[in-house]
Amino acid sequence: MDNNRKSRTQLKNEDRALKMLGQELVDLSSEQLQNMDIPDEVLEAVRFARKITRHGARRRQNQRIRALLRNVDVESIQNALETIKHGDYRQTLAFKKIEKWRDELREGNKALIEEILNICPDAERQRLTQLARKANKEYAAGKGVKSSRILFRYLSQISDPLSVSKTDEE
């Protein structure tokens, strides 16, 4: 037996991986697809597959995408998909961190202001202090959430999702 030939199991596993990759491409948004380096023929096949509603036709189109992917360097596509997945994860982490900051500031944690000023270079101490004080007063009085929303927007504005998510991982 030739050592360069792949076994049937290896071929089947590679085929399943291409099938899953094709399905992931079909599930992406148009914007995410545009940002990836995908050959035009594959891109058109993916766009067409999204329009198909009938099960049999969609299955055949997915087989076509799989066949097209066999002739393409899929490593760059897989790397782009990983970047998209991890990017969403980082954004979620950053969002949760900002929510945590807002809640702590609203509850009166003044020491957190220094930490935020160290992490976010665009932050203005006076504005951050004012927003935290307003949110704290509103929270203590049980009136509403307007100031908390303004504080959250400001924290989102001044923070970089990558730097915020990195501080959370440390």
Q: Summarize pLDDT for 84-101 with one digit per residue, the tens.
A: 877 777 778 888 888 999
When pLDDT is averaged across residues 119-127 and rounded to a whole number, the result is 86
Across all residues in the chain, what is the average pLDDT?
Answer: 85
pLDDT score for 45:
94
Burial grade of 118 (CB within 10 A; 0-12, 13-18, 19 or more): exposed
Q: DSSP string covering 77-110, please?
A: HHHHHHHHHHHHHHHHHHHHHHHHHHHHHHTT-T
pTM tops 0.75, yes or no: no
Spell out the domains of the chain, with CATH numbers in brackets.
8-72 (1.10.60), 88-169 (1.10.60.30)
Q: Catalogue the long-range contacts made by 8-14 (C-beta closer than 8 Å, 24 or more residues apart).
A: none
The yes-or-no verdict on residue 32 having pLDDT over 90 is no
